Amino acid sequence: MTSEKPTMIEMRDVHKYYGDYHALRGINGTIRAGEFFSLLGPSGCGKTTLLRTIAGFEDISGGMIMIDGKNMAGVPANVRPTNMVFQSYAIFPHLTVAQNVGFGLRRDPRPKAEKQREVDEALEMVGLKGYGNRAAHALSGGQRQRVALARALILKPKVLLLDEPLSALDKKMREQMQMELIKLQRQVGITFILVTHDQEEALVMSDRIAVMFEGGIAQLADPETLYRRPNSRQVADFIGTMNFMPAKIVAETGDLVEVDSQGFGHVTLQGSQCMGTPGSNGSSIGFRPETLTILFENQQAVDRESMATVEEVVYYGDMTYYDVRIDGMTSPVRISMRNVFGRPVLDIGNRARVAWSPGALVLFR
């Protein structure tokens, strides 16, 4: 968990129109200095647009963006303390790797040798030592990305903006670069803002995540909170898998909410487990597949226990996904279980004991 750091970027009611199209619809949020921040959302929700307004490539139609305490209204991209790693990497094809990396130092009055040393250092930092004289257009995708990173970081910006930098890489390379990016960010201590539509990537890499839908931020929180306490069904659905069951609020006393739900019966939830506007109807409860456990032989439930029937089994090697219908529920729920050596995998139609805990439930209303 990150301690409170000073504010680096503040967005207040930011709006952006493309003609009639309302691309950003009142963005509010704070990005702290030195944090790894992600903008996560489905394609077309406005992530790139928001990133580009921070970089200064797009004017905003309303609201305010402050970077490091300064209002960015009317400040062009070339004087903002931000640098960008473009989705296409935007490597200058007619220049060498070293010329690309050193491009931002052109206006730097320091002697050539000193700048050259900095270029070499930047190349070494991204693992491209000795590549300086290569022609940029002959690089592989992963190498281009490293050049783009080195080129942006050499200016020591306050904020580094990355637009889906890993989406063009294959899975293995992507996972490797995720780790490298995290390490790099810790090493340089610069605020990173990453745009991604991949929830796993955001969870793995970020200190905090803003989940965006349709031009607005739906929830801004650290990965654990987003995962355990999503503030709407939409967010819960977008991040990982969540089971939903209809539920009815029977009583509210202070911070406690009593709920009647299919299968789980009568449970009492803390206020922190309840999302949405207090008092509204149409409730459902949600829970992650791994918060339920199938009990084998003489295992005992820590909290509550219900009986269920196995309806579907999906075997993944290290994991097995079960769709089970808990007695009293009208539809099955998904449970994910880590496979343990020597323990049998259940079959369709088996009866099973399922352990669950009211603390892992989230109420959406």
Partner 1 sequence: MKRSPILGAYAVAYLLFLYGPILILPLFAFNDSRIVAFPLSGFTTQWFGEMWADANLRKALGNSLIIALSTATISTALGIFAARSSVRYRWPGKAVVMGMIMVPLVLPEMIVAMALLVVLLTIGVPLSIFTIILGHVLICMPFAVAILTSAFQSLDKSLEEAALDLGETQISTFQLIVLPLVMPGILSAFLITFTISIDEFIIANFLGKGDPILSVYIFGQFRFPAKVPSMLALGTLLVLFSICMLAIAEYFRRRGIAKTGGKDSGGFL
Ligand X SMILES: Nc1ncnc2c1ncn2[C@@H]1O[C@H](COP(=O)(O)OP(=O)(O)O)[C@@H](O)[C@H]1O
Residues in the chain: 365
Interface mask (CB under 6 A) for ligand X, residues 46-65, using x and -?
xxxx----------------
Nearer to Mg ion, 48 or 143 (CB): 48
Q: CA 19, 24, 25 angle in degrees (round to 5)?
A: 105
If one asks whether residue 240 binds partner 1 (CB under 8 A), the answer comes out as no
Q: CA 2, 85, 201 angle in degrees (round to 5)?
A: 50
Nearer to partner 1, 152 or 292 (CB): 152
Only segment of 70-78, 204-212, 232-240, 316-324 that touches partner 1 (CB under 8 A)? 70-78
Strand pairing of 274-275 and 362-364?
parallel
Q: How far is the CB of 49 from ligand X (least distance, A)?
A: 3
Residue 9 vs residues 29, 59, 66, 160, 192: alpha-carbon distances, Å: 8, 16, 6, 12, 11
Q: Which of 69, 106, 316, 349 binds partner 1 (CB under 8 A)?
A: 106
Residue 57 vs residues 5, 184, 221, 315: alpha-carbon distances, Å: 27, 25, 27, 48
If one asks whether residue 112 binds partner 1 (CB under 8 A), the answer comes out as no
Nearer to partner 1, 91 or 226 (CB): 91
Q: Of 7, 364, 333, which is closest to residue 159 (Cα–Cα)?
A: 7
Q: How far is the CB of 101 from partner 1 (least distance, A)?
A: 10
Report the C-alpha gap between 285 and 324 in whole angstroms.
Answer: 17
- Per the DSSP assignment, residues forming a β-bridge with 267 are 259
Which of partner 1, Mg ion, ligand X, none is residue 49 near (CB under 5 to 8 Å by kind)?
A: ligand X
Q: Of 166, 199, 137, 157, which is closest to residue 56 (Cα–Cα)?
A: 157
Q: How far is the CB of 27 from partner 1 (least distance, A)?
A: 21
Site size toward ligand X, by CB under 6 A: 11
Nearer to partner 1, 154 or 249 (CB): 154
Nearer to Mg ion, 17 or 315 (CB): 17
List, in sequence order, the alpha helices (H) in 249-333: none
Nearer to partner 1, 90 or 319 (CB): 90
Q: How far is the CB of 93 from partner 1 (least distance, A)?
A: 5
Q: Which of 2, 5, 17, 44 binds ligand X (CB under 6 A)?
A: 44
Cα 222 from chain centre: 9
If one asks whether residue 219 binds partner 1 (CB under 8 A), the answer comes out as no
- Per the DSSP assignment, residues forming a β-bridge with 82 are 159
Report the C-alpha gap between 239 and 58 in whole angstroms.
Answer: 29
Report the C-alpha gap between 44 and 23 in whole angstroms.
Answer: 9
Interface mask (CB under 6 A) for ligand X, residues 1-30, using x and -?
-----------------x--x-x-------
Q: How far is the CB of 52 from ligand X (least distance, A)?
A: 7
Report the C-alpha gap between 125 and 298 in whole angstroms.
Answer: 54
Only segment of 61-69, 74-82, 123-131, 356-364 that touches partner 1 (CB under 8 A)? 74-82
- Under the rule (CB under 5 A), what is the footprint of Mg ion? 48
Q: How far is the CB of 72 from ligand X (least distance, A)?
A: 18
Q: Which of 38, 48, 83, 199 binds partner 1 (CB under 8 A)?
A: 83
Report the C-alpha gap between 47 and 191 in whole angstroms.
Answer: 17
Nearer to ligand X, 208 or 334 (CB): 208
Binding site for ligand X (CB under 6 A): 18, 21, 23, 41, 43-49
